[in-house]
C-alpha cells in the first residue's frame, strides 16, 4: 500500500509532466496491461509480484532519470549557448567599443592631421613670404652694394646730389638776363629793348649738392651744401668761355634732439611754403625752370637760426631769426638819412651792391599742420627798419636813429583734389614784406623828414600740379605781387615824397627812346618813373622723365609764361609792360 502511494506521488510530481523532460519524437510511456492468467498457469506468489513491481518501478525510475538527464543536458547546452552568446555579445560589444574608440581616436588623429596640415600650409605660406622677404632683402643688400645711394665715411653718411642742365629761355622783350628773370625790370615801351626779343641758352642753373648725416649720443646731426653758377665774376661773359662762378645757395647744419630740431646756416626762409612740417629741404618749390621761380612765390635764401618742435605727429611749431635787408624805393627823397652803404671789398662784400645796417634780425614764427589730407601753414613775421636821420639837414645837430616796425602774416594750403592732382594756395600780406617775394618789390620808402615808412604789400600764388603718369608732371601757376602807393607831402617845399607819388612823370613811358651811344650796347630808355603797382604772371608747362633708374634721371620739359607789369598812375598815365617767355629744360640728375 505504501509502495503504491509512493508510485502515485512520483507519477504526479511536476517533473513527470515538464515538457522539456520529454523529447517531442519520443512515444509516450504507456502502462503495460496485466496478462490475463490462464487457467493452466499458476498464480504467482506475493513475493514474486512485489519483485515484479519493483522491477517495473525501477524501470520507470531509470527512464525518468534518463529523461531528466537529457533535459539537464539540454538545459546545460542552452545555458552554455546562452553563455556563449552572451560572451559573443560581450565580445562584440567590446569590439564595437574598441571600434568606436578607434574611430574616435582616428577622428582625433584626423583632426590633428588636418590641423597639422593647416599649420603646415600656414607655415609654408609664412615660410614662402619669409623666403621672399629674405630674397628681397638680399636683392636690396646686393643693390646697395652695387648701387649705393650714399657713401659711408667714418661715422657719417654722404649723399651727393644735384643735376647738370642744358636750358633755354626766349623772351619777347629783351631784358639782358640769364634764365633768372628780374620780373620787376620787364621794360615798358619807352625802352628800345621792349621792341626786340632775346634767346639765351644756358647751363648755369646746373646744381651740385651734398648731404652729410650721422648719429650722435643725443640724436642726429646733419649738414647740407648746395650751389649753382648763377653768379658772375669780373671775367664772366657769354662771348668766349661762358664761365661763371659757383655761388652758395644753401649751407646749413642741423642737430635733432628727438622731436626738437635746431638748424643754423643759409637756407630757404621759414616764410617759404613747405610740403611737410617745417624742415629745411622740404620746401614746396614750383616745378618751373626760371632761376627766380615764379611771381607770387615767397622766398629768399639767407642765413638764419631755426628752432622747431613737433608738438604732435601732425603739428610742428617753428621760430626763426633771419638776416634782414631792406628793399628801398622813393621819389623826391630827402638827403638827410641813411640806413646802409656799399659793400666793403676789403671786408669781402660785393662793392657793387648795397648792404643794410640792420638793427635786428627778422623774427618769423610758423605752425604747420599735416592732418593726413594735405599740408597747411599759418604764421607771421616781424621786421625792424632803422635809419639815421639829420633833422638839421646840413649839420649833425639833432642827428638820431629811428626804428620802424613792419611785418605781416603768411598762410598756405596744399591738398590733393584727386589721387594725381594737387591744389595749392599761398598768401603773404603786411607792411615791409616786399623783399620776400620773387619780384623784390620795395619794403620801405621815406618821409620828408628822413625817417623810414614801411610799404603795404602782398604776394599770392595759386598752383595746380598733376601727375597723370609716373614719369610725367603737368603744372600751372598763377601769381601776383602788389606794392601800395605810399607818399607824404613835404611841408617846406610842397612836393610829394615817397613811393609812386601821383605827381611823378610817366609821360615818356610809351615813347621809344633813341640810343645814347654808338657802341651798339646803349639802347634808349626815355623818361618814365613807372613805379610798379602789381606784377602778374601765369604759366603752364610739363616735365617728362624718359629715364629714371640706377644710372640717374634724364628729363625734358617745356613751359610758357605770360608776364604783366602794371605801374601806378602818374603824370602821363599808368604804364603797362608785358612779356611772353618760353622755356626749355634738359637735365641729368645725379643718382
Does 210 lie in the same domain as 69?
no
Residue 35 has pLDDT above 50, yes or no: no
- 112 pLDDT higher than 50: yes
Per residue in 557-570, pLDDT (tens digit) is 999 999 999 999 99
Listed range (120-124, 251-255, 315-319, 454-458) with the worst mean pLDDT: 120-124
224-240 pLDDT tens trace: 999 999 999 888 999 88
Range(s) of the domain holding residue 568? 147-589
Are 331 and 277 within one domain?
yes
230 and 93 fall within a common domain: no
Output the pLDDT for position 312: 95
DSSP string, 434-488: GGGBTT---SEEE-TTS-EEE-EEEEEEEEEEEEEETTEEEEEEEEEEEE--EEE
Residues 249 and 268: beta-carbon distance below 8 Å: no
In a domain, 38, yes or no: no
Among residues 165, 171, 184, 167, the alpha carbon closest in space to that of 582 is found at 171
Q: Is residue 31 in a domain?
A: no
Predicted local distance difference test score (pLDDT) of residue 54: 79
Same domain, 125 and 255: no
Query: Is there a domain that residue 50 lies in?
Result: yes
CA distances from 44 to 38, 40, 53, 54, 324 (A): 12, 12, 12, 15, 174
Which of 75-89, 440-454, 474-488, 523-537 bottoms out in mean pLDDT, i.e. has the lowest?
75-89
My answer on whether 100 and 113 are in the same domain is: yes
Q: Tell whether the model's pLDDT for residue 21 goes beyond 70.
A: no
> What mean pLDDT comes out for the span 54-80?
76
Reported as type and span, the H/E element at residue 243 is: none
Query: Hey, what's the cell of 394?
Result: 646840413
Q: Which three cell numbers stand for residue 365?
A: 614764427
Do residue 115 and residue 219 come from a single domain? no
- Residue 85 has a pLDDT of 59
Give the pLDDT of residue 241.
Answer: 87
Grid cell 628752432 is found at 307
Q: Is the pLDDT of residue 17 over 50?
A: no
- Angle in degrees, CA 389, 300, 249, rounded to 5: 120
Are residues 254 and 222 in contact, defined by beta-carbon separation less than 8 angstroms? yes
Task: Examine the pLDDT at 478 and tell me if it is beyond 70.
Answer: yes
Domain boundary among 122, 146, 170: 146
The burial of 395, by beta-carbon neighbours within 10 Å (0-12 exposed, 13-18 middle, 19 or more buried), is given as exposed
Q: What is the pLDDT of residues 137-196, one digit of tens each?
A: 667 666 666 666 778 888 899 999 999 999 999 999 999 999 999 999 999 999 999 999
Domain end call among 101, 125, 146 = 146
**Domain holding 581: CATH number?**
2.40.160.10
Q: Is there a domain that residue 428 lies in? A: yes
Is the residue at 37 inside a domain?
no
pLDDT of residue 551 exceeding 90, the answer is yes
Tens of pLDDT, residue by residue over 312-339, are 999 999 999 999 999 999 999 999 999 9
- Residue 446 CB-density burial (10 A; 0-12 exposed, 13-18 middle, 19+ buried): buried
Residue 104 has pLDDT above 70, yes or no: no
Residues 60 and 157 in one domain: no
Number of domains in the chain: 2
Stretch among 6-10, 130-134, 391-395, 514-518 having the lowest mean pLDDT:
6-10
Q: What's the pLDDT at 160? A: 96
For 54-68, 287-301, 454-468, 494-508, which range has the lowest pLDDT when averaged over its residues? 54-68
Tell me whether residue 356 is in a domain.
yes
134 and 173 part of one domain:
no
* pLDDT top residue among 270 and 25: 270
In a domain, 210, yes or no: yes
* Statement to judge: residues 120 and 231 lie in one domain: no
Instruction: Give the pLDDT confidence score for residue 474 in this predicted structure.
Output: 98
Residue 405 has pLDDT above 50, yes or no: yes
Same domain, 142 and 163: no
Q: Does the pLDDT of residue 6 top 50, yes or no?
A: no
Mean pLDDT of 268-292: 97
- 114-136 tens-digit pLDDT: 666 576 566 666 666 666 776 77
Average pLDDT of the chain, as a whole number: 87
What pLDDT score does 11 carry?
41
Specify the range with the lowest mean pLDDT, choosing from 11-25, 193-207, 295-309. Answer: 11-25
3-state helix/strand/coil string of 190-231: CCHHHHCCEEEEECCCCEEEEEEEEEECCEEEEEEEEEECCC
**What pLDDT, on the 0 to 100 scale, is given for residue 527?**
87
DSSP 8-state code for residue 529: -
Q: Are residues 132 and 160 in the same domain?
A: no
Neighbours of 372 (CB within 10 A): 7
Give the pLDDT of residue 80.
66
Domain boundary among 97, 117, 146: 146
Residue 410 placed within a domain: yes
Looking at residue 63, what is its pLDDT?
Answer: 80
Distance CA 453, CA 404 (A): 7
The answer on 51 and 172 residing in a single domain is no
Amino acid at each position: 500500500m505504501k509502495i503504491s502511494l509512493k508510485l502515485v506521488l512520483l507519477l504526479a510530481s511536476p517533473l513527470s509532466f515538464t515538457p522539456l523532460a520529454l523529447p517531442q519524437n519520443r512515444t509516450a510511456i504507456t502502462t503495460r496491461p496485466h496478462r490475463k492468467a490462464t487457467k493452466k498457469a499458476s498464480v504467482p506468489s506475493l513475493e514474486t509480484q512485489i519483485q515484479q513491481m519493483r522491477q517495473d518501478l525501477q524501470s520507470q525510475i531509470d527512464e525518468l532519470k534518463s529523461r531528466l538527464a537529457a533535459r539537464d543536458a539540454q538545459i546545460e547546452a542552452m545555458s552554455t549557448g546562452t553563455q556563449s552568446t552572451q560572451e559573443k555579445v560581450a565580445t562584440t560589444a567590446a569590439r564595437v567599443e574598441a571600434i568606436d574608440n578607434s574611430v574616435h581616436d582616428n577622428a582625433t588623429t584626423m583632426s590633428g592631421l588636418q590641423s597639422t596640415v593647416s599649420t603646415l600650409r600656414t607655415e609654408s605660406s609664412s615660410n614662402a613670404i619669409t623666403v621672399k622677404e629674405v630674397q628681397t632683402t638680399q636683392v636690396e643688400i646686393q643693390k646697395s652694394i652695387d648701387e649705393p645711394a650714399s657713401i659711408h665715411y667714418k661715422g657719417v653718411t654722404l649723399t651727393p646730389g644735384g643735376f647738370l642742365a642744358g636750358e633755354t629761355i626766349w623772351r619777347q622783350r629783351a631784358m639782358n638776363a640769364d634764365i633768372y628773370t628780374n620780373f620787376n625790370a620787364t621794360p615798358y615801351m619807352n625802352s628800345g629793348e621792349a621792341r626786340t626779343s632775346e634767346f639765351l641758352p644756358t647751363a648755369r642753373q646746373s646744381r651740385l649738392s651734398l648731404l652729410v648725416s650721422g648719429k650722435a649720443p643725443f640724436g642726429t646731426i646733419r649738414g647740407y651744401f648746395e650751389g649753382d653758377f648763377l653768379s658772375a665774376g669780373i671775367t664772366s661773359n657769354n662771348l668766349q668761355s661762358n664761365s661763371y662762378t659757383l655761388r652758395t645757395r644753401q649751407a646749413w647744419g642741423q642737430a635733432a634732439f628727438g622731436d626738437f630740431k635746431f638748424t643754423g646756416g643759409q637756407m630757404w626762409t621759414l616764410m617759404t611754403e613747405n610740403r611737410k612740417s617745417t624742415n629745411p629741404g622740404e620746401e614746396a618749390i614750383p616745378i618751373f625752370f626760371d632761376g627766380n621761380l615764379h611771381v607770387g612765390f615767397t622766398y629768399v635764401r639767407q642765413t638764419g637760426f631755426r628752432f622747431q618742435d613737433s608738438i604732435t605727429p601732425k603739428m610742428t611749431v617753428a621760430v626763426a631769426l633771419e638776416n634782414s635787408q631792406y628793399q628801398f624805393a622813393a621819389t623826391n627823397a630827402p638827403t638827410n638819412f641813411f640806413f646802409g652803404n656799399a659793400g666793403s671789398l676789403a671786408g669781402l662784400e660785393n662793392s657793387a651792391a648795397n648792404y643794410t645796417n640792420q638793427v635786428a634780425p627778422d623774427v618769423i614764427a610758423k605752425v604747420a599742420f599735416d592732418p593726413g589730407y594735405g599740408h597747411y601753414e599759418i604764421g607771421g613775421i616781424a621786421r625792424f627798419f632803422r635809419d639815421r636821420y639829420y633833422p638839421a639837414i646840413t649839420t649833425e645837430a639833432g642827428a638820431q636813429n629811428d626804428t620802424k616796425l613792419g611785418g605781416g602774416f603768411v598762410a598756405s594750403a596744399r591738398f590733393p583734389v584727386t589721387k594725381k592732382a594737387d591744389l595749392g594756395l599761398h598768401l603773404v600780406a603786411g607792411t615791409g614784406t616786399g623783399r620776400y617775394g620773387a619780384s623784390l618789390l620795395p619794403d620801405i620808402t621815406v618821409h620828408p623828414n628822413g625817417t623810414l615808412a614801411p610799404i603795404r604789400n602782398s604776394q599770392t600764388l595759386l598752383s595746380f600740379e598733376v601727375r597723370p603718369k609716373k614719369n610725367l608732371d603737368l603744372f600751372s601757376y598763377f601769381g601776383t605781387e602788389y606794392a601800395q602807393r605810399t607818399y607824404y607831402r613835404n611841408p617846406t617845399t610842397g612836393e610829394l615824397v615817397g613811393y609812386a607819388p601821383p605827381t611823378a612823370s610817366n609821360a615818356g613811358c610809351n615813347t621809344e627812346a633813341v640810343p645814347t651811344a654808338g657802341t651798339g650796347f646803349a639802347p634808349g630808355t626815355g623818361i618814365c618813373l613807372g613805379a610798379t603797382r602789381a606784377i602778374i604772371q601765369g604759366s603752364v608747362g610739363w616735365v617728362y622723365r624718359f629715364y629714371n633708374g640706377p644710372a640717374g634721371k634724364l628729363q625734358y620739359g617745356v613751359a610758357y609764361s605770360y608776364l604783366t607789369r602794371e605801374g601806378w598812375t602818374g603824370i602821363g598815365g599808368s604804364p603797362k609792360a608785358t612779356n611772353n617767355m618760353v622755356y626749355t629744360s634738359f637735365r641729368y640728375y645725379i643718382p
